[in-house]
Structure formats: C-alpha cells, structure tokens
Amino acid sequence: MSDQQTPPAERSGGRPPADRLEGSAGSWGMPLAVALGCAALAARGSPGPGALAATVAVGVIGGLVPVPDGATGRPWASRWLGALALGVAAFAIGRLIRPTVAASPVTAFAVTANLLAAVSEELFFRRLMYAWLARWGPALAVGVGCAALAARGSPGPGALAATVAVGVIGGLVPVPDGATGRPWASRWLGALALGVAAFAIGRLIRPTVAASPVTAFAVTANLLAAVSEELFFRRLMYAWLARWGPALAVGGTAVAFAVVHLPAYGILALPIDVAAGALFGWQRWVSGGWSASAVTHAVANLLQ
C-alpha cells in the first residue's frame, strides 16, 4: 500500500493517535471517571443543594480528566453557530408544543442551579464520555454489527433490514484519514475482473442446485445486502483492523464474514465463505477502496 493508503497509526509507529492521552490518567482514567460520574448522577436524588453539588462535582471530573489529543479541538465558527441555532430552535419548539404545566418559581438559586447543572453535565457527557466512546467507536460498531448480522435469521424483509442497518453503520462510522482513499483505476478494474471471474468459475463448477425464483425483491435484496456487507466489512472493519497491518485486515474481515454467515449456511460452507471474504479483502487492499469488492459481491449474489 502507498503511504497515502496507510492508516495514520501505521505511519506513527502502530499506536493510534487517539490512544495518546494527555496527563497521567492512563488507559483506566477515562472509564473509571465515566463510571463514577454516571453513578453519581444516577444517585443524586431530587433537585436541591445536594443534587447540585453532586452534578457540579461530576462536571469538574468531566472538565479535568485528560482526553485524547484533538478530542476538544477548536470548533469551526460557522458550524458552532449553526449547531447552536438548531439546538435552541429544537428546544424552543418543544417548549411551545408540550402540554402546559405549572411553572416553577424563578429564583436566583433556581437560575444558578440550572446553569451550573447544564454546564456540568455537558462537561461530563459531551467532553469526557464522548471522547472516551470516540476512542472505541469503531470497535463497538464492529461488535454490534457482527452480532446483528449473525442474528438476522432466514432471508426476508427483517433480515434485509438488519443487513442494511449494519451497512449504514459501516458507511457512517468515521474511519482513519486515508483509509478510504480514491482507488487507482487500473488496480480497481483488475481486482474487479479477477473477483468476478473467480465467482463465475465457481458458479460453473459447483453442483447444479435448484435455482431460486428471480423476483424484484430478490434482486434488490441481494444488491442491498452485498453493498451493506461490504460497507461494514471492507470499509469499517477493514479500516479498524488495518491499524495492525493489511494481513490482519484481510484475514480478520474474511473470518468475521464467514462466521456471521454460519447460522444461514452452516459449517460446511465456512471454508467457502472464508475464501470469498479473503478475496473481497484482497480487492479492498489492492484497489485502495471498498467499491470493487461491493460490485463483485453483488455479482456473486446474483450468480447464486
């Protein structure tokens, strides 16, 4: 792979930038602070001085615990203003349409308590917890996606919906810069041609089986499933595993791809699914993107 295609972690010695924490909190500082903060907020009780003190204490934790470099970078002015305007408008509309309730008395303590609670909770949830979860976002998404694919059941609308949902996860979760760079045209075409040829040959030499009826739903489902699975396995999971090298990325996605298909195809199909996953992973590596494997996967599904 070229340097542009190499994930940032590989270019910086194998350690992801998000794992370099400031200060001495270490790898356990953030999860411990998050757990303690959540417990304190859940146990703070009814509004009052004690609850306010607990909320402010949690806010202090959220503001002082070190977070990964870049997690609290300077926001863009235009985005900041847009986000603020939309947020305030959403709450204003909600206030207008909600049922009328008896208003609480406006006192200096009530105003101060509400402002302190708002700032404290945002320091905890949107600074500390957000930064902690952002470190593990891809790993959590990979785990949830694999579980959903393995549990989707027999082919049908429900299974298709689960597959597409996982594809949306695979397409939306951020991946390292350069992990989904623009593929080279010559390599893309070569990878696509070899992949399609491999599945076409496999279709010709396999034993004859009763063909499934060709319907609009079946064609649409096969195409959507192919693209969704490639977004998940060859975009998200591949980029996550590529921090430890392309071999693990290709092999890991191939094994995961085969395992989630065990409930549908059984153990006898495992070697074939591993081989198919390895081919898709090789296409991802050699072409520099996930689209070649997606097209090949779609063709393979239609050839079944």
Residue 14 confidence (pLDDT) = 44
Rounded to 10 deg, the angle between the 130-150 and 157-172 helix axes is 150
**What pLDDT was estimated at residue 55?**
84
Q: Residues 151-182: pLDDT tens digits?
A: 887 777 888 888 999 998 888 777 765 555 55
Could you count the other beta carbons within 10 Å of the beta carbon of residue 277? 27
pLDDT at 280 over 50: yes
Mean per-residue pLDDT, 199-204: 79
Between the CA atoms of 146, 142, 9 and 278, what dihedral angle is there, to the nearest 10 degrees? 20
Residue with tokens 């542009």: 4
Between 257 and 132, the more confident residue is: 257
Residue spans per domain, the chain: 8-138, 151-303
> Between the ranges 70-74, 116-120, 236-240, 254-258, where is the mean pLDDT highest?
254-258
Percent of the chain surpassing pLDDT 70: 79
| Amino acid residing at 277 | G
At residue 11, the pLDDT reads 43
Residue 232 has pLDDT above 90, yes or no: yes
Tell whether pTM > 0.85: no
Q: With helix as H, strand as E and coil as C, how does 126-183 read?
A: HHHHHHHHHHHHHHHHHHHHHHHHHCCCCCCHHHHHHHHHHHHHHHHCCCCCCCCCCC
Read off φ and ψ for residue 13, nearest 5 degrees: 95, 15
User: Would the pLDDT of 188 be above 60?
Assistant: yes
